[in-house]
Every structure is written in structure tokens, then in C-alpha cells.
Amino acid sequence: MSRINDRIIKTEYSEVMQKSYIDYAMSVIIARALPDARDGLKPVQRRTLYDMYELGIRYDRPYRKSARIVGDTMGKYHPHGDSSIYEALVVMSQDFKKGLPLVDGHGNFGNIEGDGAAAMRYTEARLQKITQEAFLADLDKDVVDFIPNFDETEKEPSVLPVKIPNLLVNGSEGIAVGMATNIPPHNLAEVIDAMKAYMLDSNITTRELMRYVKGPDFPTGGIVINEDDLLEIYETGVGKIKLRGKVEVEKAKGGRTNLVITEIPYTMIGANIGKFLMDVASLAETRKTQDIVDITNQSSKEGIRIVIELRRDADVENFKNLLYKKTRLEDTFGVNMLAISEGRPETMGLKQILKANVDFQFEVATRKYKNLLARELERREIQEGLIKACNVIDLIIEILRGSKDRAMAKSCLVEGKVEGIRFKSRESKIMAAQLMFTEKQANAILDMRLYKLIGLEIEALINEHEETMANIYRYEDILDRRDSMAQVIMNELDEIKEEYQRARRTRITTAGEAVYVEKKAEEMDVVFLMDRFGYARTIDMAAYERNREAAEMESKYLFVCKNTGKVCLFTNTGQLHTFKVTDLPFGKFRDKGVPVDNVSNYDSAKESIVYAASQSDLNLYRMIFVTKQAMLKMVDGGEFDVAKRTVAATKLQENDEVLSVAAYKEQRNIVLQSREGYFLRFAIEEIPEKKKGAIGVRGMKLGAKDELEAVYYTRNAVEQSIEYGKKPLELNKIKAGKRDGKGVKIRV
């Protein structure tokens, strides 16, 4: 018995991980995420279509439950979960995602606005006619290789014999490991014309091919606005296509104008339509524009229709440019034409994709016509044997009647063996010995029925033989001459184009960048209100005066500012965050505000606001900074007039944070209160002025574990008291000291 150590294989862990990851990555790249350049299909799509073909779910037969298709595909060919199979089935049926849908879906298969398909147990599907005719038609002619499925109990095609460049027609998108593909759909007729042009001249340039393929043709229409960039994109296989939705202007009642979006960018399909509506509403809420009266989504099965009602005096073109700049009505489609070519991922240009498809068509056609030729040659052999047999039918009948069994008769027909056969005459025996039929001919003769001897049947046999000879001549010509095969392929392409072509939906043009001229808002005073939860808004002065008491009671920060100005937020981490007043909603007093987190870089989860003011007010004063470690300084407010949204307002020592920021106005004394009950009052003049990048000076000597807890300011001859230890404490009566003193202990 061998020891267990003899069966232990020692290896480097990093090598095992590296090999395993590479195997996994290649599996995802080749067998799941990327399409094949020849048929333009991912494995899950190919397997689903082939399974529907095997189940006989043809375009002219009844629909079958999607769950039946998904279950059969998963059990036979694609063991990666039912959700991925059903999703592939759904996408292949959606005419707003595919330029040429391959599946005919019956039931709720989702919509362009992002609503998902119904569960697979409710929906039904069958093949589209073009899928059957152009994707699966010749599978019975041994035109592609069949490989074992995952458990080697079934055979599946390694590629479908697709007759069109489906990779271009339907496009593809997928994320693999370390790479991704994103191929836009194109117009079927244009792609077929380009493929024919390449077949006629393999030296054709990409620029010449683009006389046929104008550019992408998205199912959602829209406008490609960077026509000048398309040549480089189709040369290299990578680039960015700029898309715009189609906008029409309609006159509405009351002299108003409606902007109607009838086509959207392909990238807006799904939830992005809802986001677009929210973005347009946000433009009105944040007062980026005041031209919007209302927005409604009137889209239906007939198509997209999003209506934006504008004010009478709106500048329509300027507003359109605003939509292009601030929403996804203008978007970018990142092209990366990555596909599996000859077993490896490759980024391909337009010409390379067409070459891969043309080479594949010739390969398929060669296998197809070799197979057909072999069948016709076999048929000719049998036909010639039957014709020859009809000429000596009496002798054959005599052989059959004189033979003891089928084997004896067959030996006579094939080899001329006459031993053991009873003949009526010596002449018959001599003639029988001269017979030289082939094996197949002999079997056909022995299987022949008597009605075949009728004159009309013999005449039909001769006609059939002539037809077979014509087919043999035609097939040999196709196989021997590349021009003949090319003509056959082009004829098939013409038939497909004739039946399934449609007009181009996407317009290709060159347009400059959208230029939006922002209207200058009329400058006025507004009141900034922010509650203790960090929700901020602005109201006009009249609304504030009517609700002054409630506003002051409910607001943590309240000040008057210009609607064209900025708001500054100082935080305990020493940061200054700024944002435009126009970023806040402006309206009625009881309208809800927005979190300042949404309009600035302030993060309420990591920092807290210690002071808020308008930037114009800061320019008028010096700002007093106090930290928990009792570091003080005064900074000219003009230093905080910055363009950046976030800057450091002060420098802090380790483990320190800002406790208070205040504008120096009429204060005369500052009172520092420590957590351990020490109070220090001294004149503000003792606080030196520093730059915002300085730490400052010490304001109070603190114990080892003590820190400042509160900061108060007093004015001369003005009494001010606080509650301390549930008793009133008059701040002006605290013994005056000097900066950097220990202060006095106030007993509770």
C-alpha cells in the first residue's frame, strides 16, 4: 500500500491561480461574452436559435412557451442558468434593440422605456422568417462543423451558416474579462451592398466601402453628428459616435411652442428615458432655464413622443442646445468592434469584418455544393442503373425468378455470377454473365417496384436523369470557378435584400458642438434658508417678511444673498465648500429644499457644517477661526473668494477640528469654554490675523485631556448670559484675562 504522500502533487500556489484565472478568462471571452465574427452571435444566442430550430418552432408554425425553449436550451446546450438564456431570447425579439429581430415574440417582451419582459412562463416565441431562411437554412447540408455539447450527449453547431454579415446588421455588446465589445447596428441593404462590393474587389478601401455603409443605423433612429470621424472609426474598429435625438417644433395653443422629441439616441433606451425626464425637470427646478412650462411623456407602441411645452418668449434653438449640453439627448456611443476571429478576440474594422464574412460564405458554399454534388452523383449512378435495367428488364426478371435468394441475384447483377440460377435459355445465361451493375445500382434494381416499368414512369426517370446531369454540371461549375460561386452568393444576398430591406432610420451628418448661451438672471436679493437636517432653499424677500418668525425658528442658517452669488459652507474638517445660489430651488416658503450634499462637495456622513454665509458677505469681514485644541486666528474674508468648489479653509493640527467660524463685526470679547469647566475671556484684538493656510495661535491652555466645548462673543455694555449647570452665567462678569491663559474654573 503506497503512502498518502506519494499521491500529493506539490506546486506553486501563484502558478495555479494564474493558470486557473487565464482558463476562466478565456472561457468567458470565447464561450460567453463575445460574438463570432462569422455569424455575429454569442454562444447563448446561437444555442437558443439552434434549439428552436431543433424543436421545429418555425415562423409558419404555432408559438411555443419561452420556458420550454429556455429549459431545452439549458438542458442540452447552455448550462449557465435560465436567466441569461431568457434575456438573450428577449433581446433577439426586441425591434428597438436589434435592427433585424431574429425571434418573433408573442406577449410582453418589454418596451423601449425599460420595462422588463414578463416571466418566461407567460411569453411565447418562434423563429422569424429571415432567421430560418438566412441563419439556419443549410444546417442539413454539412456546411458547418458540429461539436459535442457540455456533457457530450448532443451535438451543436460551432457556428451558424448565416448568409449576411449579422455582426454589422444587429451589432453586439458584451463585457468579458479585461475586454468588452460594443458594435452598433447597421442597415441590412447597405451592408449587403458593401459585402458584394468587397466580393467584386477585395482591394477596395474602407473609404470606398463607406459609399455603401453610410454609418450606423440605429433602430431608434436619431442623428449621428460626427460624420467626419466615421472613416477612422471604421478603419480602426474603435472610436466615439456622437448621437442626438430628433427634435421637432410644434405650435401649441396660446402662441406657445412645443418641442417634441420623436427619436432618441440608442444609448437612451430603457431607464435612461426616465432619467432624461428627471434631468429636464431638474433644469427647471434648479433654474438653469425658466423656459419650461410642462413636460409630458406621450410615448406609445407607435413610437417615442416626449413633449416639452415652452414659454411664449422662449428661444427655441438655445433651449435645444441646452438639452444637448445638459441631458442625454446628445450622447456618445463608444464603438469597440471586438469579435472572435479564427478562435481569438480581435478588434476589427469594417473591411476586416466583411472579409471574415465573405471568406465564411465561400467556405460554407464550398461545403454545401460539394455535398449537393455528391448527392447528385449518387442519384445519377442509380438513375443510370435503372435506365439500363429497363432496357434489359426481361433478363433481370429471369434472373430474379431463377435465383434462390437476394444475394444470388445481386451477385449476378454486380459480378455476372450465374452459378445456381435457372435460365430459360443459353443466350440469357451468356447475357447475364456480362452484367456489370454497381452495388448501389443493384440495390436500387432489387428494390424497384413493378409500376416503375410503366412507360410514363420510364419517361419521368429519363427526365429526372437529365435534370440530375444539369445539376451536376452546375455544381461542378460553381466549385471549379470562384466567379460562379461568388455570383451564387450574391444572388442569395440580393434575394434577402429584396425581401427584408428597410429604409435607413438614422441620419448621418456633421454638426458643430451645441452652444448654449445662458441668459443672465436679473440680479435680486433672496433669502437663504437651511434647516438642521441640511436641506436648503431660497425664497424672495417678500415671502421672508411674511414668514419671518417661522423662518428664524425653523432655520439653522439664514441670511440674505444675491441670486447670482455663491454660498460658502465651512466644515469641522477645515474645508470650504461653495456652490451657486442658482443651484438651489427657488420658490414658496413651504416648498421643500434639497440637501446641500446634492449641490456641493459637502459630505454629511464625514463632516459637519460649522458656519454658512454668502461669498459676497465674506469679502466685507474678517473671519475668526477657533478649533477644539484652542487654536485661534483671524483671516481676511477675501481669501475665501475662490473659483474652486472646495478648498482648505484652514490648516489643522493632528486630531484637531474646527469648532467655530464667525465673522468679526461688533464683537469686543471672546469667551472660550472648555469641557472641564474652564472659561477664559479676553479681547478679540489679541487674536492675530493670519493667512488661511496657517494653523493660528493658542488661545487657551488646556489640560491633558481637555478640549474646547463652546465659543461665545460679547459686546461692551451689553449683558449676555448663558445657562451653565442649570444656572444662568453672565459672560461679561467672568474675570477678564489674556490670550493663552488657563482661565477660571466655574463650579457647577
pLDDT (mean) for 35-53: 94
Percent of the chain's residues with pLDDT above 70: 96
Q: Please tell me whether residue 390 adopts helix, strand or coil conformation.
A: helix
Residue 40 corresponds to which cell in the numbers above? 455575429
Give me the helix-helix angle, 82-93 and 43-54, nearest 10°. 80
| Helix runs in 2-65, H state only | 13-28, 43-54
Residue 416: name the closest of 402, 401, 436, 397 by CA: 436
pLDDT (mean) for 630-650: 93
The separation between CA 675 and the C-alpha centre of its own chain, rounded to angstroms, equals 57
| Helix runs in 286-392, H state only | 316-326, 350-391
Regarding predicted confidence, which is higher, 446 or 650?
650
What local confidence, expressed as pLDDT, does residue 26 receive?
A: 67
Judging by DSSP bridges, how do beta strands 330-336 and 238-244 pair with one another? Answer: antiparallel
* Type of residue found at 604: S
Q: Determine which of 9-13, 215-219, 607-611 has the lowest per-residue pLDDT on average.
A: 9-13
What is the spatial distance between Cα 85 and Cα 70, in angstroms, rounded to a whole number?
A: 6
Grid cell 413636460 — which residue? 295
Whether the pLDDT of residue 289 is over 90: the answer is no
> Model confidence at 65, in pLDDT bands (50, 70, 90)?
very high
pLDDT (mean) for 568-584: 93
Whether the pLDDT of residue 1 is over 50: the answer is no
Rounded (5°) CA angle 52-501-34: 50
pLDDT (mean) for 530-553: 92
Does pTM top 0.75 for this prediction? no
What local confidence, expressed as pLDDT, does residue 588 receive?
A: 85
Q: Determine which of 5-9, 274-278, 393-397, 409-413 has the lowest per-residue pLDDT on average.
A: 5-9
What local confidence, expressed as pLDDT, does residue 422 receive?
A: 83
What local confidence, expressed as pLDDT, does residue 680 receive?
A: 94
Residue 333 corresponds to which cell in the numbers above? 456611443
Element (H, E) at 596: helix 596-599
Give 354-391 pLDDT, tens digit per residue.
Answer: 999 999 999 999 999 999 999 999 889 888 888 888 88
Give 684-732 pLDDT, tens digit per residue.
Answer: 999 999 999 999 999 999 998 899 999 999 987 778 888 888 888 998 8
Residue 514 corresponds to which cell in the numbers above? 451645441
What local confidence, expressed as pLDDT, does residue 521 receive?
A: 64
Give the start-end residues of each E strand in 158-256. Answer: 172-175, 180-183, 223-224, 238-244, 246-251
Whether the pLDDT of residue 4 is over 60: the answer is no
What local confidence, expressed as pLDDT, does residue 567 receive?
A: 94
Whether the pLDDT of residue 736 is over 80: the answer is yes
> Model confidence at 6, in pLDDT bands (50, 70, 90)?
low
What is the spatial distance between Cα 517 and Cα 526, in angstroms, rounded to a whole number?
A: 24
The DSSP secondary structure of 458-476, one letter per residue, reads: HHHHHHHHHHHHHHHHHHH
What are the contacts of 10-15 at 24+ separation with CB within 8 A? none
- DSSP tally for the chain: helices H, then strands E: 22, 35
> Model confidence at 27, in pLDDT bands (50, 70, 90)?
low
What local confidence, expressed as pLDDT, does residue 587 receive?
A: 82
Q: Determine which of 5-9, 669-673, 736-740 has the lowest per-residue pLDDT on average.
A: 5-9
Contact 330, 244 (CB under 8 A): yes
Three-state secondary structure readout of 660-679: EEEEECCCCEEEEEECCCEE
pLDDT (mean) for 268-279: 88
pLDDT (mean) for 45-63: 95
Hey, which residues are catalytic here? 122
Give 484-503 pLDDT, tens digit per residue.
Answer: 999 999 999 999 999 999 99
Residue 717 corresponds to which cell in the numbers above? 455694555
- Across all residues in the chain, what is the average pLDDT? 89
CB count within 10 Å of CB 540 equals 16
Provide CB contacts within 8 A for 623, sequence distance 6+.
634, 635, 636, 637, 640, 661, 662, 663, 664
Q: Please tell me whether residue 636 adopts helix, strand or coil conformation.
A: strand
Rounded (5°) CA angle 288-294-299: 115
* Farthest-apart Cα atoms in the chain, separation: 155
What is the spatial distance between Cα 161 and Cα 154, in angstroms, rounded to a whole number?
A: 19
What local confidence, expressed as pLDDT, does residue 719 receive?
A: 83
Contact 243, 332 (CB under 8 A): yes
What is the spatial distance between Cα 516 and Cα 536, in angstroms, rounded to a whole number?
A: 28
Strand order in the sheet with 609-614: 609-614, 566-571, 575-580, 646-648
Contact 626, 660 (CB under 8 A): yes
What is the spatial distance between Cα 109 and Cα 120, in angstroms, rounded to a whole number?
A: 9
Query: Distance of CA 137 to CAs 58, 365, 500, Å?
Result: 11, 12, 16
The secondary structure of residue 700, as a DSSP letter, is B
Whether the pLDDT of residue 596 is over 90: the answer is yes
Residue 333: name the closest of 193, 187, 219 by CA: 219
Contact 409, 403 (CB under 8 A): yes
Regarding predicted confidence, which is higher, 718 or 636?
636
What are the contacts of 192-198 at 24+ separation with CB within 8 A? 192/164, 192/493, 192/494, 192/496, 192/497, 192/501, 193/497, 194/350, 194/354, 195/164, 195/165, 195/354, 195/357, 195/358, 195/493, 196/490, 196/493, 198/351, 198/354, 198/355, 198/358
Grid cell 468648489 — which residue? 645
What local confidence, expressed as pLDDT, does residue 2 receive?
A: 46
Residue 7 corresponds to which cell in the numbers above? 499521491
Rounded (5°) CA angle 144-146-147: 140
The separation between CA 102 and the C-alpha centre of its own chain, rounded to angstroms, equals 19
